[in-house]
Structure 1
Amino acid sequence: MATVQGKNATFDRAWRYALLVIGAVIFIGPLLFMVMSSLKPDPQLLADTSSLRAFLPVGDISLKNYVGAFHRAPVALFIFNSVLVTGITVILSLFVCSLAAFSFVFLNWRGRDVVLAVIIATLIVPFETIAIPMLIVVNNLPWVSADGLTLGWLNSYRVQIVPFVADGLTIFLFVSFFKDLPRELIEACRVEGATWFQIYLRVVMPLSGPVLATAAILKFLAMYNQYLWPLMVTQAEGFRPVMVGLQYFFQLNPVWGELMAYLSVITVPVLAFYLVLQRAFISSIASTGVKG
């Protein structure tokens, strides 16, 4: 009997590992193809796409496509713009949306449920339907700069950050997480004389590591991959993000190897951010247990 159970356990373990390997191949395959293609000249790249050679470092391998990509477009500037805009937006969004969610869950005020329902309903509104009205609004907003009071936010970092600080999905994630926190803990803090902001900052947020990591990853991907809005509001090259930079590789004579090199370079911040947040996510789960 023990032998049969051992064989079944071995069989189940083999199936699990097989499924994990298949899943890894599905997710790593496109990245591997992108990197390998970025190292090959166009004729070889196109010829290898019909075989497994597309995933292997074979043939004429070099870094010429990377050099060509940096000559064709200001890649470093685009990456800097995207990382700056995305990083600031993620930080502000986590603070604003978590604070809003805290008020929806723990504070009692008139119209709370109605406002929350309206915010969640915004999730079904496509961005394309509000893009033009948003463009008209930001084009007439005032701003105080070194040159004095000016009108219009176009060609700036703020026009890419401020409209996306608060969003329904992030607020919904925090609301869902906060509702599972024990109310007794909040009530005990109130009895001890803690203010609502102290409870938010010192009690609720330290317990919110998993939702913080999840919301940060989703927000980072959404902001880093933005194309339509930056294309509409950044005519100056100095403020354009990486996705708008893709158009540099489809003008006149597109070089597919250089395009793959550009995609490989701009993917690095996304992978780095994900790995950092993954470690933070795991450590936060390990540290949120109730200690005696």
Structure 2
Amino acid sequence: MAAITPDNHGLRLFVRYLVLSLIALIFVFPLVFMAVSSFKPTAQLLSDTSSLRAFLPVGDLSFNNYADAFRRAPVGLFVFNSVLITGTTVLLSLLICSLAGFSFAFLRWKGRDVVLSIIIATLIIPFETIAIPLLLQVSKLPWIGLQGLEWGWLNTYRVQIIPWIADGLTIFLFVQYFKGLPGELIEASRVEGASWWQIYYRVVMPLSGPVVATAAILKFLIMYNQYLWPLIVVQQESYRPVMVGLGYFFQLNVVWGEVMAYLTLITVPVLAFYLFLQRAFIASIASTGVKG
């Protein structure tokens, strides 16, 4: 069996990074095309799609598409609504679903396995089958706000947040991860007199950076890309998210330069969230390793 020489090792690393770079380029191409096209007039944008010029910032470049996009639709309002709805839902979901997962993983109570099985079974139910029954419910639910008792949740932020806080997938992710944690940590904490709440936020959650990051990413993508539910329950422009706002650019004449500008703008929060979560995830792993 031939020994691996330094030269062979370096060649393998080069080939590996070359393949990974090519794969990364394949995924980056649509983003590059979108960003570059947002600065081009529609006529030039369409003509460049037949060549590599579509990925290059060449030709008549300007910010006119961005200015026209803001004139056509309240882009800033749509982005704000989506960030508010998505961020609030993600935070509440991580709290509620992690508490539920902690209960299923560590606490013993009657009917626990049956309830968990029912929650997991909800994953096979398409949203389209419950959309109308859910709409009928939220249209009649009461709410105590600043103006007193109100009836109906339509045309509000809460109707886009509350129904999506808890879901079977996120709970399942937390349950599976919590079950993989060393049981000795929980037993030692109980012996030391720690309450279940103290075990949750002082022992379990500091060790749960990977599952928190995974659940946050999945929930963020689901909520930020919501289209059907907001389209059903929101008729007022002031509460519409970005995906519903995309329809403004396909009314009458479609200006593809404006469409690309709008898509570029609504992609910025996604990239910002990814970079933030990546740093938080690395910091969580590093701090867990130091404590261990």
Offset of 1:129 from its aligned partner?
1.1
2:132 is aligned to 132
Give SS of 1:243's match.
helix
Task: Return the alpha-carbon distance in structure 2 between the equivalents of residues 11 and 290 of structure 1.
Answer: 34
Correspondences of 1:1-292 after superposition (within 5 Å): 5-289=5-289, 291=291
- Matched positions, count: 292
For structure 2, the 5+ residue unaligned runs are: none
Q: Which amino acid aligns with 2:236?
A: A
Task: Return the alpha-carbon distance in structure 1 between the equivalents of residues 145 and 276 of structure 2.
Answer: 35
Task: Return the alpha-carbon distance in structure 2 between the equivalents of residues 3 and 119 of structure 1.
Answer: 53
Superposed CA offset, 1:194-223 (max 9, x none): 111111011111111111111111111110
Give SS of 2:77's match.
helix
Offset of 1:246 from its aligned partner?
0.4
Give SS of 1:143's match.
strand
Q: Which amino acid aligns with 1:17?
A: Y
Task: Return the alpha-carbon distance in structure 2 between the equivalents of residues 3 and 58 of structure 1.
Answer: 50
Q: Percent identity?
A: 71
Task: Return the alpha-carbon distance in structure 1 between the equivalents of residues 62 and 110 of structure 2.
Answer: 65
Task: Return the alpha-carbon distance in structure 1 between the equivalents of residues 198 and 286 of structure 2.
Answer: 24
Task: Return the alpha-carbon distance in structure 1 between the equivalents of residues 145 and 88 of structure 2.
Answer: 19
Q: Which amino acid aligns with 2:195?
A: T
Answer with 280-289 or 155-164: which moved more. 280-289
Which runs of 4 or more aligned residues in structure 1 lie more than 3 Å from their structure 2 counterparts after TM superposition? 1-4
Task: Return the alpha-carbon distance in structure 2 between the equivalents of residues 183 and 68 of structure 1.
Answer: 59
Offset of 1:61 from its aligned partner?
0.5
Give SS of 1:66's match.
helix
Per the alignment, do residues 3 and 206 of structure 1 end up closer, same or farther by CA in structure 2, a change over 3 Å counting?
A: closer
Offset of 1:291 from its aligned partner?
4.5
Offset of 1:41 from its aligned partner?
0.5
Offset of 1:9 from its aligned partner?
1.2
Task: Return the alpha-carbon distance in structure 2 between the equivalents of residues 283 and 291 of structure 1.
Answer: 12
Answer with 278-287 or 144-153: which moved more. 144-153
Give me the CA root mean square deviation. Answer: 1.5
TM-score by length of 1: 0.97
Per the alignment, do residues 200 and 260 of structure 1 end up closer, same or farther by CA in structure 2, a change over 3 Å counting?
A: same
Answer with 101-110 or 11-20: which moved more. 11-20
Q: Which amino acid aligns with 1:205?
A: M
Task: Return the alpha-carbon distance in structure 1 between the equivalents of residues 68 and 227 of structure 2.
Answer: 23
Q: Which amino acid aligns with 2:25?
A: V
Offset of 1:11 from its aligned partner?
2.3
